[in-house]
Structure 1
Protein backbone atom coordinates (compact mmCIF):
# COMPACT_ATOMS: atom_id res chain seq x y z
CA UNK A 1 0.00 0.00 0.00
CA UNK A 2 1.43 3.36 -0.95
CA UNK A 3 1.23 6.49 1.11
CA UNK A 4 -1.56 8.88 0.18
CA UNK A 5 -0.42 12.14 -1.42
CA UNK A 6 -3.43 14.19 -0.42
CA UNK A 7 -4.78 15.05 2.99
CA UNK A 8 -6.00 11.72 4.34
CA UNK A 9 -9.48 11.10 5.53
CA UNK A 10 -9.26 9.85 9.12
CA UNK A 11 -11.44 6.82 8.47
CA UNK A 12 -10.12 5.98 4.99
CA UNK A 13 -7.34 3.81 6.37
CA UNK A 14 -9.82 1.62 8.26
CA UNK A 15 -12.41 1.21 5.50
CA UNK A 16 -12.86 -2.14 3.79
CA UNK A 17 -11.41 -2.42 0.30
CA UNK A 18 -13.65 -2.50 -2.75
CA UNK A 19 -14.88 -6.10 -3.20
CA UNK A 20 -14.89 -5.73 -6.98
CA UNK A 21 -11.16 -4.96 -7.11
CA UNK A 22 -9.07 -7.59 -8.92
CA UNK A 23 -6.29 -7.44 -6.36
CA UNK A 24 -8.56 -9.15 -3.85
CA UNK A 25 -8.93 -12.29 -5.98
CA UNK A 26 -8.03 -15.53 -4.31
CA UNK A 27 -5.06 -17.52 -5.60
CA UNK A 28 -5.82 -20.70 -7.46
CA UNK A 29 -5.59 -23.77 -5.29
CA UNK A 30 -2.49 -25.89 -5.70
CA UNK A 31 -2.97 -29.34 -7.17
CA UNK A 32 -3.30 -32.04 -4.53
CA UNK A 33 -0.01 -33.60 -3.57
CA UNK A 34 0.57 -37.28 -4.24
CA UNK A 35 0.87 -39.23 -0.98
CA UNK A 36 4.35 -40.55 -0.32
CA UNK A 37 4.71 -44.05 1.09
CA UNK A 38 6.87 -44.52 4.16
CA UNK A 39 10.04 -46.34 3.16
CA UNK A 40 11.10 -47.17 6.72
CA UNK A 41 14.20 -46.02 8.58
CA UNK A 42 17.48 -45.79 6.72
CA UNK A 43 19.76 -48.81 6.82
CA UNK A 44 22.61 -48.59 9.33
CA UNK A 45 26.06 -49.89 8.54
CA UNK A 46 27.06 -52.72 10.85
CA UNK A 47 29.86 -51.84 13.28
CA UNK A 48 33.32 -53.20 12.59
CA UNK A 49 34.24 -56.49 14.23
CA UNK A 50 36.81 -54.90 16.58
CA UNK A 51 34.71 -51.96 17.73
CA UNK A 52 34.98 -52.76 21.45
CA UNK A 53 38.11 -51.78 23.38
CA UNK A 54 40.26 -54.64 24.56
CA UNK A 55 39.80 -55.83 28.15
CA UNK A 56 43.08 -55.58 30.03
CA UNK A 57 42.39 -56.12 33.75
CA UNK A 58 39.99 -58.57 35.34
CA UNK A 59 38.72 -57.47 38.76
CA UNK A 60 39.20 -59.92 41.62
CA UNK A 61 36.21 -61.81 42.94
CA UNK A 62 34.44 -60.20 45.91
CA UNK A 63 35.64 -61.04 49.40
CA UNK A 64 33.57 -62.89 51.97
CA UNK A 65 31.79 -60.66 54.50
CA UNK A 66 32.58 -61.31 58.16
CA UNK A 67 29.80 -63.06 60.11
CA UNK A 68 27.43 -60.83 62.04
CA UNK A 69 26.94 -61.03 65.81
CA UNK A 70 23.18 -60.71 66.10
CA UNK A 71 23.17 -60.61 69.90
CA UNK A 72 25.59 -57.65 69.94
CA UNK A 73 23.48 -55.86 67.32
CA UNK A 74 20.31 -56.38 69.40
CA UNK A 75 22.06 -55.09 72.53
CA UNK A 76 23.31 -52.00 70.68
CA UNK A 77 19.82 -51.29 69.31
CA UNK A 78 18.31 -51.67 72.79
CA UNK A 79 20.78 -49.24 74.37
CA UNK A 80 20.26 -46.78 71.50
CA UNK A 81 16.49 -47.00 72.05
CA UNK A 82 16.95 -46.34 75.77
CA UNK A 83 19.10 -43.25 75.07
CA UNK A 84 16.57 -41.96 72.53
CA UNK A 85 13.65 -42.39 74.94
CA UNK A 86 15.65 -40.74 77.73
CA UNK A 87 16.45 -37.69 75.61
CA UNK A 88 12.79 -37.49 74.57
CA UNK A 89 11.59 -37.63 78.18
CA UNK A 90 14.04 -34.91 79.26
CA UNK A 91 13.02 -32.69 76.32
CA UNK A 92 9.32 -33.24 77.11
CA UNK A 93 9.84 -32.41 80.79
CA UNK A 94 11.73 -29.21 79.94
CA UNK A 95 9.01 -28.23 77.45
CA UNK A 96 6.29 -28.89 80.04
CA UNK A 97 8.10 -26.75 82.64
CA UNK A 98 8.52 -23.88 80.15
CA UNK A 99 4.83 -24.02 79.18
CA UNK A 100 3.79 -24.02 82.85
CA UNK A 101 6.01 -21.01 83.56
CA UNK A 102 4.62 -19.11 80.58
CA UNK A 103 1.02 -19.91 81.57
CA UNK A 104 1.68 -18.88 85.18
CA UNK A 105 3.18 -15.61 84.01
CA UNK A 106 0.13 -14.85 81.86
CA UNK A 107 -2.32 -15.66 84.68
CA UNK A 108 -0.56 -13.61 87.38
Structure 2
Protein backbone atom coordinates (compact mmCIF):
# COMPACT_ATOMS: atom_id res chain seq x y z
CA UNK A 1 0.00 0.00 0.00
CA UNK A 2 1.27 3.42 -0.90
CA UNK A 3 0.82 6.19 1.64
CA UNK A 4 1.58 9.86 1.31
CA UNK A 5 3.79 11.83 3.66
CA UNK A 6 1.22 14.63 4.16
CA UNK A 7 2.82 17.06 1.69
CA UNK A 8 0.12 18.49 -0.68
CA UNK A 9 2.63 18.52 -3.53
CA UNK A 10 2.91 14.74 -3.16
CA UNK A 11 -0.79 14.30 -4.08
CA UNK A 12 0.14 14.24 -7.76
CA UNK A 13 0.49 10.47 -7.45
CA UNK A 14 -3.27 10.16 -7.04
CA UNK A 15 -4.27 12.51 -9.88
CA UNK A 16 -5.42 11.32 -13.30
CA UNK A 17 -2.87 11.23 -16.09
CA UNK A 18 -2.79 14.39 -18.24
CA UNK A 19 -5.26 14.38 -21.12
CA UNK A 20 -7.73 12.01 -19.45
CA UNK A 21 -11.06 13.67 -18.53
CA UNK A 22 -12.79 13.26 -15.21
CA UNK A 23 -15.37 10.48 -14.82
CA UNK A 24 -15.29 6.96 -16.12
CA UNK A 25 -15.35 7.85 -19.84
CA UNK A 26 -12.37 7.37 -22.06
CA UNK A 27 -11.37 10.30 -24.28
CA UNK A 28 -12.54 8.44 -27.39
CA UNK A 29 -16.10 7.98 -26.01
CA UNK A 30 -18.71 10.62 -26.94
CA UNK A 31 -20.04 12.89 -24.24
CA UNK A 32 -23.56 12.16 -22.96
CA UNK A 33 -26.26 14.20 -24.70
CA UNK A 34 -28.28 15.34 -21.70
CA UNK A 35 -26.76 16.00 -18.35
CA UNK A 36 -28.72 16.21 -15.12
CA UNK A 37 -27.65 17.86 -11.88
CA UNK A 38 -23.93 17.84 -11.08
CA UNK A 39 -23.03 16.71 -14.61
CA UNK A 40 -24.54 13.23 -14.34
CA UNK A 41 -26.54 11.81 -17.26
CA UNK A 42 -30.28 12.14 -16.80
CA UNK A 43 -32.54 9.08 -16.63
CA UNK A 44 -35.15 9.12 -19.42
CA UNK A 45 -37.43 6.70 -17.58
CA UNK A 46 -38.55 3.17 -18.35
CA UNK A 47 -39.60 2.23 -21.87
CA UNK A 48 -43.33 2.45 -22.57
CA UNK A 49 -45.25 -0.77 -22.08
CA UNK A 50 -48.28 -2.04 -23.92
CA UNK A 51 -51.12 -3.76 -22.07
CA UNK A 52 -51.59 -7.48 -22.77
CA UNK A 53 -54.34 -8.45 -25.20
CA UNK A 54 -57.75 -9.43 -23.85
CA UNK A 55 -58.05 -13.12 -22.98
CA UNK A 56 -54.32 -13.68 -22.67
CA UNK A 57 -54.74 -16.09 -19.74
CA UNK A 58 -54.96 -19.80 -20.52
CA UNK A 59 -58.38 -21.38 -20.09
CA UNK A 60 -59.08 -23.26 -16.83
CA UNK A 61 -60.57 -26.72 -17.44
CA UNK A 62 -60.44 -28.38 -14.00
CA UNK A 63 -61.90 -26.80 -10.88
CA UNK A 64 -60.51 -28.19 -7.59
CA UNK A 65 -63.08 -29.42 -5.10
CA UNK A 66 -63.85 -27.17 -2.12
CA UNK A 67 -61.89 -27.91 1.05
CA UNK A 68 -63.39 -30.47 3.42
CA UNK A 69 -64.47 -29.82 6.99
CA UNK A 70 -62.17 -30.63 9.87
CA UNK A 71 -63.40 -33.02 12.54
CA UNK A 72 -64.70 -31.35 15.72
CA UNK A 73 -62.27 -30.97 18.62
CA UNK A 74 -62.84 -32.73 21.93
CA UNK A 75 -61.82 -29.92 24.29
CA UNK A 76 -62.11 -31.87 27.57
CA UNK A 77 -59.88 -34.63 26.16
CA UNK A 78 -57.35 -32.04 24.98
CA UNK A 79 -57.30 -30.46 28.45
CA UNK A 80 -56.78 -33.87 30.08
CA UNK A 81 -53.91 -34.73 27.70
CA UNK A 82 -52.29 -31.35 28.36
CA UNK A 83 -52.54 -31.83 32.13
CA UNK A 84 -51.03 -35.32 31.85
CA UNK A 85 -48.14 -33.99 29.76
CA UNK A 86 -47.53 -31.18 32.26
CA UNK A 87 -47.44 -33.68 35.15
CA UNK A 88 -44.94 -35.86 33.30
CA UNK A 89 -42.72 -32.87 32.48
CA UNK A 90 -42.71 -31.64 36.10
CA UNK A 91 -41.96 -35.18 37.33
CA UNK A 92 -38.96 -35.56 35.02
CA UNK A 93 -37.71 -32.12 36.08
CA UNK A 94 -37.97 -32.94 39.79
CA UNK A 95 -36.24 -36.30 39.30
CA UNK A 96 -33.41 -34.66 37.37
CA UNK A 97 -33.03 -31.99 40.05
CA UNK A 98 -32.85 -34.64 42.78
CA UNK A 99 -30.17 -36.62 40.91
CA UNK A 100 -28.12 -33.46 40.31
CA UNK A 101 -28.43 -32.50 43.98
CA UNK A 102 -27.15 -35.94 45.09
CA UNK A 103 -24.23 -35.78 42.64
CA UNK A 104 -23.38 -32.27 43.83
CA UNK A 105 -23.44 -33.40 47.48
CA UNK A 106 -21.16 -36.35 46.67
CA UNK A 107 -18.68 -34.13 44.85
CA UNK A 108 -18.65 -31.56 47.65
CA UNK A 109 -18.18 -34.24 50.31
CA UNK A 110 -15.17 -35.64 48.46
CA UNK A 111 -13.60 -32.16 48.37
CA UNK A 112 -14.13 -31.61 52.12
CA UNK A 113 -12.80 -35.00 53.24
Bin for the TM-score computed over the shorter chain: 0.5 to 0.7
CA–CA separation in structure 1 for the residues paired with 2:34 and 2:49: 28
Q: Show CA shifts across 1:67-107 (max 9, x none).
A: 11100000000000000000000000000000000000111
Q: How many residues align?
A: 79
Classify 1:101/1:48 alpha carbon distance in 2 versus 1 (closer, same or farther; 3 Å).
same
Match of 1:57 in 2: 62
Normalising by structure 1, report the TM-score. Answer: 0.61
Match of 2:87 in 1: 82
CA–CA separation in structure 2 for the residues paired with 1:61 and 1:76: 32
Structure 1: gaps (5+ residues): 1-25
Normalising by structure 2, report the TM-score. Answer: 0.59
CA–CA separation in structure 2 for the residues paired with 1:92 and 1:106: 21
RMSD: 2.3
**Matched residue SS, 2:53:** coil
Matched, 1:42 2:47: yes
- Determine which structure has more spread, i.e. the larger CA radius of gyration: 1
Match of 2:101 in 1: 96
**Matched residue SS, 2:88:** helix
Structure 2: gaps (5+ residues): 1-17, 22-32, 37-41
Q: Show CA shifts across 1:11-66 (max 9, x none).
A: xxxxxxxxxxxxxxx87x9xxx7646765432112223343222121111111111
